[in-house]
Chains A and B, each alone.
Chain A
């Protein structure tokens, strides 16, 4: 399985600011995914990031709010823009293995005041 790291592991931010979350994988992967997990809730897919192309966003998520970069096959970033307290969540990246399995990073716990 892939080893995935995320930075930062947690942060406390003021409303109106932006935070960029980094996701690093120890092997080259085609697809990376970003999820949001609100407190005590399940995981919701934000977008799919394929290297070399624009990210594909799920219903309810837009690029202006959650811009994503995918500069190479081992790295991706998610920015949470113009944050409000409703953005307080755990943000997780995952990668797709050849067997359709997805492996998840440890998550970034974001609190917006």
Chain B
């Protein structure tokens, strides 16, 4: 059972455009929602994260929008650049008491064209 659904699977955006990736979850015990960026041959790198008591978080060109009632969150990349071309994973964390377990979405392959 997939607990975090991510869309689209792939995305092509022109340089300077806005990239939008959406995620939805079902488990209301999730309490931390990070986004990871992964380049080929590399491990995932934390990009930005949000907690459910905040509806939006912005860091530079990257913004997370969070809708707790709808159990949805999204990543917006403003002024997308070719260097942003990577795979993006949303994730959600549940504190089990002994560890915070990450559940990943299926990933979105972003290509930013010139």
Contact of A45 among B49, B98, B101, B105 (CB under 8 A): B101
Check if A79 is an interface residue, CB within 8 A of chain B: no
Given contacts A42-B105, A42-B106, A50-B99, contact A100 B93 (CB under 8 A): yes
Q: Does A103 contact B (CB under 8 A)?
A: yes
In this complex, how many residues of chain A approach chain B with their Cβ under 8 Å: the count is 24
Interface pair A42/B104, CB less than 8 Å apart: yes
* Contacting residues of chain A (73-113) with chain B, CB-CB under 8 angstroms: 92, 94, 96, 100-107, 109
Per-residue CB contact flags for chain A residues 26-66 toward chain B (1 = under 8 Å, else 0) read 00000101000000011111001010000010000000000
- Which of B44, B49, B99, B104 has a CB less than 8 Å from the CB of A96? B99
B99 & A101 in contact (Cβ 8 Å cutoff): no
B7 to chain A, nearest CB (A): 13
- CB contacts (< 8 Å) of B32 on chain A: these are 100-101
Q: Which residues of B contact A (CB under 8 A)?
A: 31-32, 34, 36, 41-46, 49, 89, 93, 95, 98-107
